[in-house]
């Protein structure tokens, strides 16, 4: 064991699993790096974090997170830079969102010394796990869950904070074929839709599976009150380009404020493309498509970055953007984000944190 400069204890694995990983063929989220960051919350405070070998942790069956779902996560990436270094993309924003999720779920916020410094140290320890191939990255998954051993329903008094990382390859996907989901909803006013609460994902699985069984990649979530307004696309935010204007639903309590979404808005404005954050009904999108004004639609999120949409099945017909590949904004945005994240383009907005 040794201590890092910021005082985090590190216990190294005896034998690294690195050589067993096929970096040319990385399945998403299935190969975990050698170490994880670990901290406990008890007696009203976060205890010192530690970096330890990745592995199983013993948990009692009475663990309150398992019964009542007091649990949430984050997700973002570290990128290999053109100069060979490593940088985290917008970690401060993920840190802020982590604590917003915590507050909504009546869980304790975590200090930056644990989240930001802890993750920087974790990546230094596992730096060889950050891929070097084009489009690849190290996905970082912070997790926080309730640890009281009780069936009593109340906010827990003890929690665990764990950060796992996994190398992920470039995301290749065919343009998305989506189904507008009119029966199930992901979120509703006053609920937890704006957080990365574990339960949100459990509640979304059935609709996603039914859509996949019918040949769609994913669903378009509509608002929980009228089922008319577009909210999100699976686990991603969504943009429509109508008459040269990029329209995305405004973030309210029912939409997750994606950091990719925010980055895309900044870049679109830099490209002098008008962006509107406002409610958009699927009927309006269908009408725009009919009039040849819907030139593009795409979904955005950390995993895929920018994913073009081919079609949206709504009632009995397909909404199809009239996208022309060579002029697609989705491709330009993807290339631009890729260049910033790898240090090929200047980091004007202070999005990178060097490890």
Ligand X SMILES: *Cc1c(COP(=O)(O)O)cnc(C)c1O
The residues binding ligand X (CB under 6 A) are 75, 196, 232, 235-237, 256, 258-261, 301-302
Residue 160 beta carbon to ligand X: minimum distance, rounded to whole angstroms? 21
347 by Cβ neighbours in 10 Å (0-12 / 13-18 / 19+) ranks as middle
How many Å apart are CA 162 and CA 122, to the nearest integer? 11
Closer to ligand X at the Cβ: 80 or 97? 97
Strand (E) or helix (H) holding 43:
none
Residue 189 beta carbon to ligand X: minimum distance, rounded to whole angstroms? 16
- Which tokens sit at 184? 């199930």
Residue 193 beta carbon to ligand X: minimum distance, rounded to whole angstroms? 8
Mark out the alpha helices in the chain (DSSP H runs).
64-68, 91-104, 112-125, 198-213, 259-270, 282-290, 329-341
Closer to ligand X at the Cβ: 117 or 232? 232
Closer to ligand X at the Cβ: 218 or 302? 302
Q: Is 275 helix (H, G, I), strand (E, B) or coil?
A: strand
Strand (E) or helix (H) holding 247:
strand 245-248
Closer to ligand X at the Cβ: 177 or 196? 196
Residue 283 beta carbon to ligand X: minimum distance, rounded to whole angstroms? 23
Residue 300 beta carbon to ligand X: minimum distance, rounded to whole angstroms? 6
- Which tokens sit at 126? 């596992």
Nearest alpha carbon to residue 135 among 173, 163, 161: 173
How many Å apart are CA 235 and CA 189, to the nearest integer? 18
Nearest alpha carbon to residue 167 among 34, 41, 351: 34
Nearest alpha carbon to residue 88 among 303, 343, 330, 306: 343
Residue 259 beta carbon to ligand X: minimum distance, rounded to whole angstroms? 4
Closer to ligand X at the Cβ: 64 or 302? 302
Closer to ligand X at the Cβ: 200 or 295? 200
- Cα 278 off chain centre by: 22
Residue 63 beta carbon to ligand X: minimum distance, rounded to whole angstroms? 23
If you search the block for the tokens 């008094």, which residue do you land on?
A: 157
Closer to ligand X at the Cβ: 156 or 302? 302
Q: Is 33 left (phi over 0), alpha (psi -120 to 50) or beta?
A: beta
Closer to ligand X at the Cβ: 147 or 302? 302
Residue 243 beta carbon to ligand X: minimum distance, rounded to whole angstroms? 25
- In Å, how far are 22, 37, 61, 114, 156 from 43, measured between CA atoms? 43, 20, 22, 17, 11
Closer to ligand X at the Cβ: 75 or 135? 75
Residue 75 beta carbon to ligand X: minimum distance, rounded to whole angstroms? 6
DSSP string over 300-320: EETTTEEEEEEEEEETTEEE-
CB atoms within 10 A of CB 78: 29
How many Å apart are CA 122 and CA 6, to the nearest integer? 12
């Amino acid at each position: 064991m040794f201590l890092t400069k910021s005082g985090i204890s590190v216990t190294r694995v005896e034998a690294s699993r690195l050589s067993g990983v096929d970096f040319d063929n990385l399945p998403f989220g299935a190969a975990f790096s050698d170490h994880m960051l670990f901290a406990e919350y008890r007696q009203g405070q976060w205890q010192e974090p530690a970096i330890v070998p990745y592995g199983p942790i013993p948990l009692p069956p009475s663990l309150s997170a398992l019964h009542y779902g007091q649990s949430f996560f984050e997700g973002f990436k570290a990128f290999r830079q053109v100069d060979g270094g490593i940088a985290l993309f917008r970690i401060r924003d993920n840190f802020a969102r982590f604590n917003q999720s915590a507050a909504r779920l009546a869980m304790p916020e975590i200090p930056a010394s644990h989240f930001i410094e802890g993750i920087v140290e974790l990546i230094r320890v596992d730096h060889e796990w950050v891929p070097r191939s084009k489009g690849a990255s190290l996905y970082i998954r912070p997790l926080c869950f309730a640890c009281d051993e009780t069936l009593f329903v109340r906010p827990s008094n003890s929690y665990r904070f764990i950060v796992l990382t996994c190398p992920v390859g470039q995301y290749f996907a065919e343009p998305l074929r989506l189904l507008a989901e009119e029966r199930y909803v992901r979120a509703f006013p006053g609920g937890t839709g704006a957080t990365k609460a574990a339960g949100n994902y459990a509640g979304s699985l059935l609709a996603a599976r039914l859509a996949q069984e019918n040949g769609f990649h994913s669903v378009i979530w509509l608002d929980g009150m009228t089922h008319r307004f577009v909210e999100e696309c699976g686990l991603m935010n969504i943009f429509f380009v109508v008459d040269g204007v990029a329209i995305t639903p405004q973030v309210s309590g029912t939409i997750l404020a994606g950091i990719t979404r925010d980055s895309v808005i900044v870049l679109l404005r830099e490209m002098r493309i008008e962006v509107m954050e406002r409610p958009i009904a699927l009927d309006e999108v269908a009408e725009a498509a009919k009039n040849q004004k819907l030139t593009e639609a795409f979904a955005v999120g950390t995993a895929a970055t920018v994913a073009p949409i081919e079609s949206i099945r709504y009632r009995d017909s397909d909404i199809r953007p009239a996208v022309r590949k060579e002029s697609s904004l989705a491709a330009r945005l993807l290339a631009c984000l890729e260049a910033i994240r790898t240090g090929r383009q200047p980091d004007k907005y202070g999005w990178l944190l060097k490890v």
